[in-house]
Structure 1
Amino acid sequence: MTEKKLTLSLDVRSGLPIYTQIVNQIQSQLVNGILKPGDQLPTVRALAQELRVNFNTVARAYRILDEEHIISTQQGRGTYITEIPPPEVNERLRRESLEALTQRFISEAFRLGFSEREVSQMVRDRLKISKEAITNDSE
């Protein structure tokens, strides 16, 4: 089995700790089928080097994922995505991924100087457009 290339995008200005961003993105990739049970993840050291973050930051993220039974680290063999989580865990992961995505969006919008009203209106407009597109596609 080959090691899975992780594509993670970290934002040091988001206000969200880096280890939380790593956890959220790995969870999101699992929920979205990018990562699959049995996929091998990079070692803590390799991922820390690749992301240019402290070793302990990645170790903390992996520890959280291991406690959630999302990954399993086997001494001398590597770190792997565990079997598909039960539906209630999967639903929680989906919700947490949406929350993290929403938080990143809101933080970036505020950083760019948009008001709460502008952000809210943009979300409403985009939801309406997406809903119309889905309705038109199904006809």
Structure 2
Amino acid sequence: MRLSIDPSSAEPLFDQIARSIRHALANGLLRTGDRLPPARDLANDIQVNLHTVLRAYALLRDEGLLEVRRGRGTVVVAQPPGVGDPRLARAIAHVAAEAHRVGLTQGRLVELVVHAFQSGPSYDKILDQ
């Protein structure tokens, strides 16, 4: 599993790790029952502190996506809700990445997505915002 993290980003590393794992789940790169690498191995691979990876795993556990089994590893137990189509998952991931890139706040992104959803397929209405 290849994770995409940017140490120079303002986004905390544990959030970047969790986002990358969510992305892998949404795109079918990870499936229910798959084992994640041990936190220590992943931390060494991506050159971050062990506790950073543990925090990301705990976040995903709290979201119901992972189960941390002492002595047996970390296992995917659920897929992210509502994203069954890999094309939709990729589009959402792309929009989120672009929003980060241009400095859009999460709140503003949500406003734009809600407006786009309510407007239907008309791009003109979205661009007027």
Partner of 1:77: 72
- Work out which of the two has the higher radius of gyration on C-alpha atoms and give 1 or 2: 1
Provide the TM-score with structure 2 as the length reference: 0.66
Count of residue pairs brought into register by the alignment: 99
Asked if 1:58 corresponds to 2:39, the answer is: no
Deviation of 1:49 (Å): 0.7
Query: Any runs of at least 4 consecutive aligned residues in structure 1 with deviations exceeding 6 A, and if so which?
Result: none
Summarize the Cα distance change of 1:103–1:21 in structure 2 as closer, same or farther, 3 Å threshold: farther
Partner of 2:97: 101
Partner of 1:117: none
Q: Which runs of 5+ in 1 are unaligned?
A: 1-5, 108-139
Partner of 1:123: none
Contact kept in structure 1, 2:26 and 2:79, CA below 8 Å: no
Summarize the Cα distance change of 1:18–1:96 in structure 2 as closer, same or farther, 3 Å threshold: farther
Deviation of 1:14 (Å): 1.8
1:66 aligned counterpart, secondary structure: helix
2:6 aligned counterpart, secondary structure: coil
Partner of 1:31: 26
Contact kept in structure 1, 2:26 and 2:80, CA below 8 Å: no
2:75 aligned counterpart, secondary structure: strand
Percentage of identical aligned residues: 36
RMSD: 2.5
The CA distance in 1 between the partners of 2:4 and 2:80, in whole Å, is 24
Deviations 1:32-70 (A, max 9, x none): 111111110011111111111001110110000000011
Contact kept in structure 1, 2:22 and 2:80, CA below 8 Å: no
Asked if 1:22 corresponds to 2:54, the answer is: no
Given residue 15 of structure 2, which amino acid in structure 1 is its aligned partner? T
The CA distance in 2 between the partners of 1:76 and 1:49, in whole Å, is 19
Deviations 1:70-125 (A, max 9, x none): 111111111111133443xx48xx59745641244326xxxxxxxxxxxxxxxxxx
Q: Which runs of 5+ in 2 are unaligned?
A: 104-129
